Amino acid sequence: MKRFASFRNGFVHSAVQKRTTRDFSSEPAGPVVKTKIPGPKSSALKNDLNRIQNSAGVNYFVDMEKSIGNYVADADGNYLLDAYMMIASMPLGYNHPAFQELLKKPEMMVPDFKDVLHLTRISVNKTRDHGKFSREDLESTMNNQPPGSPNLSMLSFQGGFHGRTLGCLSTTHSKPIHKLDIPAFDWPSAPFPCYKYPLKDHVSENTKEDEKCLAKVEELIHKWNNEKKQPVAGIIVEPIQAEGGDHHASTSFFKKLRALAKKNNCAMIVDEVQTGCGSTGRMWAHEYWELDDPPEIVTFSKKMLLGGYFYRDDMRVDEPFRIFNTWMGDPVKLSMLEIVVDVIKRERLLSRVNESGTKLLSGLEHLQTKYPSLIGNARAQGTFAAIDAASVESRAKLIDRALNKGLQLGVCGERAIRFRPALIFEQKHADVALNIIEDSLRGL
């Protein structure tokens, strides 16, 4: 779900020098909905944007200056509880005081974007198509295997999402639209566990599901190594398949997958772009696996505010400029990340995530018991939570009702509704979200 900052005079307005530090005491007690969403101002801006690019994916326009804490303000003055946070990309919500203080520093000051963009406008082509969304953090991990470009392959999982550049797209299997008109490598993809819920009632079936998927992984490695002559250099996996439908897998599954990778001389790449930086209740979701032998590579982005990857010493690249891009070492992003890590520690946000996540999951489980024909399969790790709707159509209605009652949610997979709140999401916010969801379910 794409969203854009509200525009003034056609350009994003920067008010860094004028802004005073705000604390979260000014956060609304609850959603404030004055208009249908999108409201008249957002609709007008959407029509304006549509003159230069397709705006069908835009839901509403955001007033970044008025947004605060867990609440996003739109161009029409509505305040929505944001349990999606730009697809899990805002660790501390909107206008966190620590970020506000950072932006007051002289070295962080920037000219008003309105004036800068006016000076740099190109008059020849007003339409810009095919803007590139950088996923170099993941792409470069796949290039980080000597000797460089032999006929190797990467094993991924059906339902996985690892980016939309060429190599990453060949390991992405969540939506067909992602691959439209783009060639792909002939690389293997294995089934990812699809569990029955509640987990405690389906231990036997889910264990068999793990074993079936692991057997297929080994079968594919053998086929690509010996028949296709494209040896599998690495296995890439998400701790929780996010875009594919919030699919979870057991600790046992990941431990056995790690053993399979090691047995077959495959690097294990854990994609923590969406799960990393605390949303599961630990800094890194793969910490829950308690592996004896850590993965070779762990990628990160989103809540970390910059993209990159951790790697073991034996994966270090010796040649200079082999892994390189324009924006390496961005000092502003590094300063922001320092703030995020400091606030996580100082405010004990991982504990808060676990407490809020427990509240959220308990509430979702209660609602699915109360409305079994409409929702089910509640699941969560921390506040990284989801629930399945009965159908695509009922999901769309539920999401729209919740939005117009003041709750921003996300979707993924075929029927899943996902929660991706900021780390500052508290139990009181979970209560607000659950009340809106129940209100939206009535009469659906």
Rg of the chain in Å (alpha carbons): 22
Q: What is the pLDDT of residue 109?
A: 65
Q: What is the pLDDT of residue 110?
A: 58
Q: Among 302, 303, 384, 425, which one carries the catalytic annotation?
A: 302
Q: What is the pLDDT of residue 84?
A: 98
Q: What is the pLDDT of residue 318?
A: 86
User: Do 379 and 246 contact (CB within 8 A), yes or no?
Assistant: yes
Q: Which whole-number Å values give the CA distances from 154 to 188, 193, 246, 364, in the listed order?
A: 7, 19, 22, 37
Mind giving me the DSSP string for 387-416? EEESSHHHHHHHHHHHHHTTEE-EEETTTE
Q: What is the pLDDT of residue 6?
A: 38
Q: Among 4, 61, 99, 161, which one carries the catalytic annotation?
A: 161
Q: What is the pLDDT along the chain (444 residues), one digit of tens a residue?
A: 334 443 333 323 333 334 455 667 789 999 999 999 999 999 999 999 999 999 998 999 999 999 999 999 999 999 999 999 999 999 999 999 999 998 888 777 655 555 554 555 554 444 444 444 455 555 665 555 555 567 899 999 999 988 877 777 667 777 677 667 677 788 999 999 999 999 999 999 999 999 999 999 999 999 999 999 999 999 999 999 999 999 999 999 999 999 999 999 999 999 999 999 999 999 999 999 999 999 999 999 999 998 889 999 998 888 888 777 777 778 888 999 999 999 999 999 999 999 999 999 999 999 999 999 999 999 999 999 999 999 999 999 999 999 999 999 999 999 999 999 999 999 999 999 999 999 999 988
From the list 356, 342, 366, 379, the residue with the least C-alpha distance to 438 is: 366
**370 given a catalytic annotation:** no
Q: What is the pLDDT of residue 9?
A: 30
**271 given a catalytic annotation:** yes
Chain center to CA of 159? 14
Helix (H), strand (E) at residue 189: strand 189-190
**400 given a catalytic annotation:** no
378: burial class by Cβ within 10 Å (0-12, 13-18, 19+)? buried
Q: Among 172, 271, 359, 425, which one carries the catalytic annotation?
A: 271
**302 given a catalytic annotation:** yes
Stated pTM of the model: 0.85
